[in-house]
Amino acid sequence: MSSSFSRRNFIAGTAAIAGVAAAGRANAQVGPAHGKVVDTQVFARLEEIGEGVWGVVSTPLNPDGSFNPAAVATLCNGGIIAGEEKVVAIDGSFQPAGAAWLAEQALKLTGRPVTDVIVTHFHADHSGGLAGYQNGATGPEIIATETTNNLIFERYAGARQTPEGAQFARPVIRPVMPTRIITDETSIPTMDLGGRTIRLHPLKGHTPSDMAIVVDDANVIFAGDLVWQGLFHNYVDAIPSHLTTSVEHLLADTSRTIVTGHGAIANAGDLGNYLELLRLVEEKARASFEAGKTPAEGAKEFTVPASLGNWLLFNPRYYETAFEAWRRELAGETS
Ligand SMILES: [Zn+2]
């Protein structure tokens, strides 16, 4: 890790050098809450966004736009959906302390422990903290698709990488692993929580398997890392054409409340710039590929127009990562 990298893990998405520090400061913290804030920690806040539905918004940034290593317990967003019988938590956090906090909140808010955890995708910042839901020998059912389950094993069996938080202590992925595997990734299973049914929608694009959770009676979608707000998407494992299709699907009903994977919770209708940004990346990456440029060369010429707002980078190489994902797809290296 170069010193410049570790000194500043987030840089502003705008290219103007003079504006980087100021833009970073102005956008270091996620925007105002969408719902009623019921708990605030240094690493996250929990918002009530419907009856029996709460969304986590992680806040890992210092005011200067850098990561705060003491504020990465959750690192990803997620939440709680309560029925009369089941209490579902969305995603596993980066560290067990994050999942333990969410489990404690669920107990406080519903009077019952978490019964099921749905893992949206394999990335360590969404699966590394699963052990935090465990209470001695007992714990909730951990639900994931077969692809997600396999990828957790494949990617984190040896040298563990943490796509959205590589500079922090590596999370211990095991021993808590998915216990209920969804093998048919083309159907949309439903879960009856008691008085409320949710839909588990298998999609892909951020990774080869991304689960969105739809709570129809509260008009809420937990989008996992398919949708980001104010932070430039991490394309490290992306299948970019599928990413766009999945996002179009998730944002189609503009009245929905979307719990993003990173950044603020927002109405689908207010997330249009995110989709525009994905389309702009596609346009520029295709042109770059057709001109025979490398992803690094293409990324160097890429800027986000001010009209799309500010998009911070978790990592200064993320434009290149995006162009590389498109190169892989255009070269026929991804299915
Ligand atoms: Zn991810």
Write down the domain spans for the chain: 31-268
* Residue 125 CA to ligand 1 centre (angstroms): 7
* pLDDT per residue as tens digits for the range 74-85: 999 999 999 999
* pLDDT per residue as tens digits for the range 257-308: 999 999 999 999 999 999 999 999 999 999 999 999 999 999 999 999 999 9
* pLDDT per residue as tens digits for the range 138-195: 899 999 999 999 998 888 865 455 555 545 556 666 667 788 999 999 999 999 999 9
Find the range with the poorest average confidence among 8-22, 43-57, 112-126, 256-270. 8-22
> Mean pLDDT for the chain?
87
Check pLDDT > 70 for residue 223.
yes
Give the CA angle between residues 46, 51, 57 to the nearest 5°.
Answer: 20
* Residue 127 CA to ligand 1 centre (angstroms): 10
So what's the pLDDT on residue 22? 32
* Residue 108 CA to ligand 1 centre (angstroms): 28
* Residue 229 CA to ligand 1 centre (angstroms): 13
E runs forming strands in 2-120: 36-40, 44-50, 53-58, 78-82, 87-90, 116-118
Check pLDDT > 70 for residue 117.
yes
* Residue 35 CA to ligand 1 centre (angstroms): 24
Nearest to 203 by CA among 249, 265, 146, 154: 249
Mean pLDDT, residues 298-326 taken together: 94
* Residue 159 CA to ligand 1 centre (angstroms): 18
* Residue 19 CA to ligand 1 centre (angstroms): 28
Q: Dmax over Cα atoms in the chain, in whole Å?
A: 60
> What CATH superfamily classification does 31-268 receive?
Ribonuclease Z/Hydroxyacylglutathione hydrolase-like (3.60.15.10)
Distances in whole angstroms, Cα of residue 285 to Cα of each of 24, 246, 260, 296, 321: 25, 19, 24, 11, 11
Give the rounded percent of residues in the chain with a pLDDT score beyond 90.
73
* Residue 225 CA to ligand 1 centre (angstroms): 5
* Residue 168 CA to ligand 1 centre (angstroms): 15
Mean pLDDT, residues 317-329 taken together: 96
* Residue 73 CA to ligand 1 centre (angstroms): 15
**Ion ligand 1: protein residues whose beta carbon lies under 5 Å:** 123, 225
> In angstroms, rounded to a whole number, what is the distance separating the alpha carbons of residues 278 and 303?
13
In the chain, the amino acid numbered 143 is I
Has this prediction a pTM greater than 0.85?
yes
Q: Which residues contact 285 (CB under 8 A, 6 or more apart)?
A: 240, 295, 298, 322, 323, 326, 327, 330
* Residue 260 CA to ligand 1 centre (angstroms): 11
So what's the pLDDT on residue 305? 96
* Residue 194 CA to ligand 1 centre (angstroms): 30
How far separated are the first and last CA of the chain, in Å rounded?
32
